[in-house]
Chain A
Amino acid sequence: QSVLTQPPSASGTPGQRVTISCSGSRSNIGSNTVHWYQQLPGTAPKLLIYSDNQRPSGVADRFSGSKSGTSASLAISGLQSEDEADYYCAAWDDSLTACVFGAGTRVTVL
């Protein structure tokens, strides 16, 4: 059972907008910034979003992050076939003094 809750799957057709939710609590998302990772099949995770809504250099602006209270979201606009991957949210948890991940959301492009 993951500390952060994500839907196991999401899907869309090319060009659509897909949103992935990440629900936590006051000790993690409610008190700390959220980061998002993309893991393509057979590759290492890649940082997509940090500090709730900031994109590292080189990450397409189709990816955006937001946060409200104890929940966060990752949006992928203009969905492309190469976006098929597992997406994970993460945040620091003050109670556990540990970084916690969501269980991951598999995005499928139909």
Chain B
Amino acid sequence: QVQLQESGPGLVKPSETLSLTCTVSGASISSGSYYWSWIRLPPGKGLEWIGYMSYSGISNYNPSLKSRVTISVDTSKNQFSLRLTSVTAADTAVYYCARGHGRRTVTTVTRDYYYGMDVWGQGTTVTVSS
């Protein structure tokens, strides 16, 4: 079955860039119309959706993070990545990667649909501290 595994540094200094990778096993990242997603859980708070990127290049990000976030897909390595710039202590969290389901319709307007995330990585803790 499909499995996801996050990797990356557990400690990042304030103002620097947080970079995490999610390795997909058991399926090709380019098969199906999946939305490869990142979500985080800050200590003592609830889940926060960060954003997604599809193999075909469809992306959306949390408006509160949009100016600092990039999600990319690397089909050659069957991985997708998160990059978050100018981090502060508020970015300290457990970061999860997940496989999402969605679609985009384009008629006179573009409309996005997102149906949920059915496969999750185990999560990786990132602390922002000097």
Contacts and interface: CB of A to CB of B under 8 A. Distances in A.
Residue of A44, A86, A92 with most partner-chain B CB within 10 A: A44
A104 B46 contact: yes
B112 A92 contact: yes
A22 to B, nearest CB: 12
A44 B118 contact: no
Secondary structure dominating the interface of B: strand
Interface in B87-124: 96, 101-102, 111-118, 120-123
Contacts of A43: 122
A102 B122 CA distance: 21
A100 B47 contact: no
Category for how many chain B residues contact A: 20 to 34
Nearest to A102: B46
Contacts of B61: 98
Contact of B116 (A90, A96, A102): A90
A99 B49 contact: yes
Interface of A: 2, 32-33, 35, 37, 39, 43-47, 50-51, 56, 86, 88, 90, 92, 94, 96-104
Given A32-B114, A43-B122, A44-B123, 8 more contacts: A44-B122, A51-B115, A90-B116, A94-B112, A96-B63, A98-B51, A101-B48, A104-B46
